[in-house]
Chain A
Amino acid sequence: MKKYLKLLTFWRVFASIILLAAAYVTYVRFVNGLGAATHLSDQFPWGLWIGFDVLCGVGLAAGGFTLVAMVHIFNLKRFEPILRPTILTAFLGYILVIVALMFDLGRPLQIWHAVIMWNPHSVMFEVAWCVMLYTTVLSLELSPLILEKFKLTGLQKALKRVTVPLIIVGVLLSTLHQSSLGSLYLIVPEKLYGLWYSPYLPLFFYVSAICVGCAMIIFESFLSARSFKKGLELPLLADIARFGVVMLAVYLTMKIMDLSSRSAFPLLFVPRMETYLYWLEIAVGVIGPLVLLSIARIREHPRGLFAGAVMIIIGFILNRMNISITGMEAWAGVSYFPSWMEITITMAIVTVGFGVFSLAAKYLPLFGHEHPVETTDIHDLSENLHLISEQSSQEPTNEIFIGR
């Protein structure tokens, strides 16, 4: 307990420093313009805020629609206990993406223009609408949390009646949004390095989002289990990992087919930065976890499961950063590294995300909704849980926070 308190204080101090610095950066960015706060240029107009905060933020929120589809459409009700924290993460992810956009857009107060000034030929237009609509759907999916807290049963009933169409719309919007972030880069066939540019970018973005969605469900469950001293649904998570393995396999196969159809295999062996980064991304984010998590002993062991999930997440972030930043540098003819101000805002956004999640977990019935687990070997399970909570409290998993 003492250790726990100490940790909490450290993170509070850390968060305060980040937020104070972010307040200063916010002032610089909005008074002196993007040029004063960022390392962006005419040659490199999209940087960390688009590459990480938006592309990765939306991707890492993919756990939401993946799990919602599993529970409500594929009727895998045994996953229900982890549904709420996952939807909350997705919702927070989208809100924070919007915050990041407010920093990144040159004229943020005109963001609403996309509502009335239409250009259906623009992928960015599709992205804008997906953000708006899916954030609305997520807030509706999440609203039972609030309604339950304040016992608004009438509204709860009304919402329940539209659950199925709402969920289907949510899954469709996610599908469109995840893939459209890939479509954004279809327009730059010369700029984006050949290992990444593909006519199948939208499909790659979609499938990799499902992979990372699975990884995020596992990752969040571990962090929640650790921070809130609640049990871990290990068999459930191992099943999610199994689904993740299948999607990774699909992804890898598609990647190979794509390279072959574009006759781009030679690019894999050209000695240059892009090649190494590509291999790193595939090894860490796809092949590594694919092998690890397909072994039952590793998948069903908490540490192995967590490591696999983290690898998928790191690989995913590498992929999005490669596409948005490193894969574009060669053509742009300039090198880009984010300014400390850009990094500060990104860290502040992640900090706020974690902070709000902790608060919500404390004050809202986030885990209170759990149904009794319909398994016969419930005794084995609780034994497992005991072991896990002991183990995980010893692991310094919080280092991940900075890494993100």
Chain B
Amino acid sequence: MLKKKALLIDTTLCIGCNSCQDACKKEFGLPEGQEKKLSATAYTALEEFDGIYVRRMCQHCNDPTCASVCPVGAFTKTPEGPVLYDEAKCIGCRYCIQACPFQVPRYEWTSNYPRVQKCRFCYDRIKQGLQTACAEACPTGATKFGDRDDLIREAYERIKAEPGKYVDRVYGIEQVGGTSILYLSSVPFEQLGFKTQLESTALPMLTWNALSKIPSVVTVGGVFLYGIWWITNRRKEVQKHEKKLHDLEHESNGEKEHRQ
């Protein structure tokens, strides 16, 4: 049985050394140089809030919005957890960028054959049983790689062990149906730029509610429209027939009058 992989990011341990981004850039051959925001050349970035560093990256949702909205199925959720993008399929509609609740996917705006760029969760590495490049590079253990279930347990243990240090919440357990990146924090998450208003239902349900009604709209609508057509055209026939009768009557009346 494949276990879902995850990362536990403890913002209280992060010292902002940027090793994660450096390692990531090296792993994927991206242009070197520190970037403070996610970009098409930075799959992860450290944002600072009053001395607290928060790692931004694709959250690899359990029920990914990007995978649901992509018209050509360019995104897939792998059983191991990573959400992968297949540039060969992409038509560039950018619905994924529009729909992602975490504002993660980045686009190569200056290219004339652009791709969507985002964290790939080092899929090739974890398939070989290795951990992600960022987790390996992290000198303080602020980013820890492991099985999702184990990491959730560990996150709660850390909170329990030092209740004064952490807020009593693990971000990523239930947001939009749960994600593969779990966060711990010493201050309320909204102060660190987290989207705390996200509900626990996965977003794809919202559009599926509408999409799943298409068969009924088509079948019921088709029968209804055909029925209306049948009635209105029948009415026309009746009118024609009645007119004929009416004319006949008139004719015979006229004849009578004429005789009188």
Q: Which of A's residues lie within 8 Å of B, judged by CB?
A: 30-36, 40-43, 45-46, 69, 72-75, 104-108, 110-111, 113-114, 117-128, 164, 168, 171-172, 175-176, 179-180, 183-184, 186-190, 199, 202
Contact = CB atoms under 8 A, between A and B. Distances in A.
A201 to B, nearest CB: 8
B90 interface: yes
B197 A190 contact: yes
A74 B206 CA distance: 34
How many B residues touch the partner, as a band? 35 or more
Contacts of B68: 119, 121-122, 187
27 contacts: A32-B112, A33-B109, A33-B112, A41-B109, A42-B38, A42-B105, A73-B229, A73-B232, A74-B232, A107-B92, A108-B92, A110-B90, A119-B72, A121-B211, A122-B70, A127-B71, A164-B226, A164-B229, A168-B225, A172-B222, A172-B225, A175-B221, A176-B217, A187-B204, A187-B207, A199-B209, A202-B210
A43 B217 CA distance: 35
A122 B91 contact: no
A176 B218 CA distance: 8
Interface in B198-229: 198, 203-204, 206-211, 214, 217-218, 221-222, 225-226, 228-229
Contacts of A34: 107, 109, 114
B52 interface: no
Contact of A124 (B70, B105, B111): B70
Contact of B98 (A31, A107, A121, A188): A188
B109 A119 contact: no
B203 A117 contact: no
B90 A106 contact: yes
Contacts of B222: 168, 172
Nearest to A30: B112
Nearest to A168: B225
A36 B108 CA distance: 11
Interface string B56-76: 000000000100111111100
Contacts of B159: none
Contacts of B226: 164, 168
Given A34-B109, A42-B103, A187-B203, A122 B95 contact: yes
A319 to B, nearest CB: 18
A187 B99 contact: yes
B232 A105 contact: no
Contacts of B98: 45-46, 188
The 6 closest A-B pairs by CB, nearest first: A106-B92, A35-B109, A75-B232, A124-B71, A119-B73, A117-B72
Contact of A42 (B97, B99, B206, B228): B97
B112 A119 contact: no
A386 B217 CA distance: 45
Contact of B71 (A46, A75, A114): A114
Contact of A72 (B99, B111, B229): B229
Contacts of B93: 104-106, 124
Interface of B: 38-39, 65, 68-74, 89-95, 97-99, 101, 103, 105-114, 195, 197-198, 203-204, 206-211, 214, 217-218, 221-222, 225-226, 228-229, 232-233, 235-236
A100 B65 CA distance: 26
Nearest to A184: B95
Given A45-B98, A190-B197, A183 B73 contact: no
**Which of B38, B69, B108 counts the most chain A CB atoms within 10 A?**
B69
A347 to B, nearest CB: 23
A127 B69 CA distance: 11
Contacts of B91: 105-108, 110-111, 113-114
B120 to A, nearest CB: 17
A1 B63 CA distance: 65
A117 B73 contact: yes
Contacts of A183: 207, 210-211
Contacts of B210: 123, 179-180, 183, 186, 202
Contact of B99 (A73, A106, A168, A188): A188
Contacts of A187: 65, 68-69, 99, 203-204, 206-207
Contacts of A107: 90-92, 113-114
B225 A176 contact: no
Contact of A128 (B38, B71, B206): B71
A104 B97 CA distance: 14
Given A120-B211, A126-B211, A202-B210, A36 B221 contact: no
A3 to B, nearest CB: 45
Given A75-B233, A199-B206, 14 more contacts: A42-B39, A42-B107, A72-B229, A74-B228, A75-B236, A106-B93, A106-B114, A107-B91, A110-B90, A117-B74, A119-B68, A120-B211, A187-B68, A188-B99
